[in-house]
């Protein structure tokens, strides 16, 4: 199955994601900070990246932590590196001013988006589709 890098700073949701991915046969590495996520990306080879959009950067919650990760990966792509598909997710789409985050993430290069909450089956179906396309 796939090596998946997950950026999610909510411990409970991160645990649920990890359990769902492992039960589906994937190998997730979960990070809670954008800076840690970028470091992990340099350390290992990933088939897919899942990032929450409002996450910690250097242990502070920032509304663009996930956007920072997407921008980092797109910078690698511009430099000629092959990058994995990126799923951007957010539960803050109902908060004023933040509903545009998922649209912005697509504009910056996210392959797909999900609005929290979502069912694990929805995520797993999307992962399968993206991994099939990237082969």
Domain ranges of the chain: 3-129
Higher pLDDT, 110 or 98: 110
Look up the pTM and report it: 0.91
DSSP 94: T
CATH superfamily of this structure's domain 3-129: Response regulator (3.40.50.2300)
DSSP 79: T
pLDDT (0 to 100) of residue 95 = 62
Question: Over the chain, what is the mean pLDDT?
Answer: 89
Tally the C-alpha atoms within 13 A of residue 19's C-alpha that lie toward its C-beta: 8
CA pseudo-torsion sign 49, 52, 132, 1: positive
* CB distance 87 to 49 below 8 Å: yes
pLDDT (0 to 100) of residue 44 = 95
Per-residue pLDDT of 51-107, as tens digits, reads 998 876 666 666 678 888 999 999 999 999 999 999 999 876 566 555 677 888 889
């Amino acid at each position: 199955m796939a090596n998946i890098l997950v950026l999610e700073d909510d411990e409970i949701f991160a645990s649920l994601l990890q359990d769902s991915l492992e039960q589906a046969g994937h190998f997730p590495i979960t990070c809670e900070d954008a800076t840690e996520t970028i470091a992990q990306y340099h350390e290992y080879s990933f088939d897919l990246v899942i990032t929450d959009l409002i996450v910690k950067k250097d242990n502070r919650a920032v509304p663009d932590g996930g956007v920072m990760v997407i921008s980092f990966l797109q910078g690698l792509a511009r430099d000629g590196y092959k990058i994995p598909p990126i799923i951007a997710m957010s539960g803050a789409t109902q908060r004023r001013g933040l509903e545009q985050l998922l649209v912005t993430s697509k504009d910056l290069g996210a392959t797909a988006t999900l609005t929290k909450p979502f069912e694990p089956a929805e995520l797993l179906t999307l992962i399968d589709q993206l991994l099939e396309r990237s082969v």
